[in-house]
Structure 1
Amino acid sequence: MFDPWDAEPARVAVHPEFGPLLLAIERILRGSSINPPQVWELSEAIDLEDSGWVCLGDVPLLHTLPAVWPGDDRVWVMDAVPKVTVSMVGGSPSDGSVARTTIRSSEAQNDVDEFLDSLSLEAGLPSAPRGRVWFVRSPWNSVSTSGVLDEIGNRMVALASAGQLTDSLAHFIAAQEVIGRYASGT
């Protein structure tokens, strides 16, 4: 059976440079008010982006995109960034309250995972493997990665505006159409 999620091991090695990340985790565990670490701060993400790859991040709308993107032009790395929840203590930022960042509970993470699974299911896909950060690049010399992503986004808006599809399903169908068109050369 074809695996749209590319179950083979990561094609990019995870670097052991976690000093700053461990410091951020320590601050989060102490409940300090810091910006949560982001995936693009990891050295492997920086290396990929410097080589022309685009990080899809954890945007739910892009969740199913790796399943339709050409296999040689998508890679993933292990998601070494802790999942966090940011909550306001004392009201709102305008009245001097403080944002508190904490590690996301397993129950809250399960809710996120179930939501992402529902997006896969809605598109007719098996659940995506956990703990991956996907990067893509354009396999076509005639268009940049951002150009392909923009075209997919524009087509998704047109499909979703008809009111018969959810945004996530419209995005998946738009990706299939746009990538299919480029792959066939039309």
Structure 2
Amino acid sequence: MSWDEDGTPHPLALRRTGRSEQEPDRLPEVRELEVLGWEPAPEDMLWVFLPYVWPPAARTWIPDRSTHWAVETRLDGHGHITDVQAAPLAEPDLHDLDWEAEEVLTELGLPHRPPGRLWLLRPLGSLPTVGAVLDRLRAVAEERGVEVRASAAFLALTRDELAALAAESGSET
């Protein structure tokens, strides 16, 4: 288990540099990797640890060139929208976006994620999608009486089940 701190991004990501005004899932390199069977890692706090425990042969990352936007909406006295302005978040504000994820990782005893990465995963075993893998993890947790929440017990179950699925599909390394 690791964040692949010393690893390099997927080679497709090396063809592009600089900030993009696209949101993460709209980046061209993400779309290209989706065609090759990769899926963006879920953003839900329940799964914040997922790339850390996902088998290395079935995970990759790319630099996050996306832009995160702050949207300000003004309303009149009747609740009608009178103005909407969007502006890119400043660098210090971007770090604030990760505080909740870092707090969860700390509670789980895991190291913080390397900044500036978008994680992509491939399905494991005979399951067709990452969503199907997550559904299976939820079902196994329910069968074993493990609460589906970011906890040490759910982390251990997830790690073990992913290892079993990787062995089934031959993507353990």
* Class of the TM-score when normalised by the shorter of the 2 chains: 0.7 to 0.9
Deviation at 1:63, TM superposition (A): 1.9
Question: TM-score, normalization: structure 1?
Answer: 0.71
Count of residue pairs the alignment pairs up: 161
**Partner residue of 1:115?**
100
- Corresponding position of 2:146: 159
Q: How does 1:28-107 map to 2 (within 5 A)?
A: 37-56=22-41, 58-90=43-75, 95-107=80-92
Q: Is the 2:38–2:120 Cα contact (8 Å) retained in structure 1? A: yes
CA contact (8 A) 1:5 1:128 kept: yes
Aligned to 2:2: 4
Whichever residue aligns with residue 12 of structure 2, its letter is A
1:64 is displaced (CA, Å) by 0.9
Q: What is the Cα deviation at residue 173 of structure 1?
A: 4.0
Tell me if structure 2 keeps the 8 A contact 1:153–1:171. Answer: no
* 1:55–1:135 CA contact under 8 A, matched in 2: yes
CA distance in 1 between partners of 2:76 and 2:60 (Å): 41
Match of 1:150 among 111, 114, 135: 135
The 1:139/1:114 distance shift into structure 2, 3 A limit, reads same
* Other-structure match for 2:110: 125
CA distance in 2, matches of 1:70, 1:98: 47
CA contact (8 A) 2:137 2:158 kept: yes
Tell me: CA distance 1:70–1:18, structure 2 relative to 1, closer, same or farther (3 Å).
same
Structure 1 residue runs without a partner (length 5+): 25-36, 162-166
* Alpha carbons 1:39, 1:57 under 8 Å: kept: no
- CA deviation map 1:33-71 (0-9, x unaligned): xxxx32122111011101111111543332210111000
RMSD: 2.9
8 Å contact kept, 2:124–2:133: no
Distance 1:135 1:57 in 2: 9
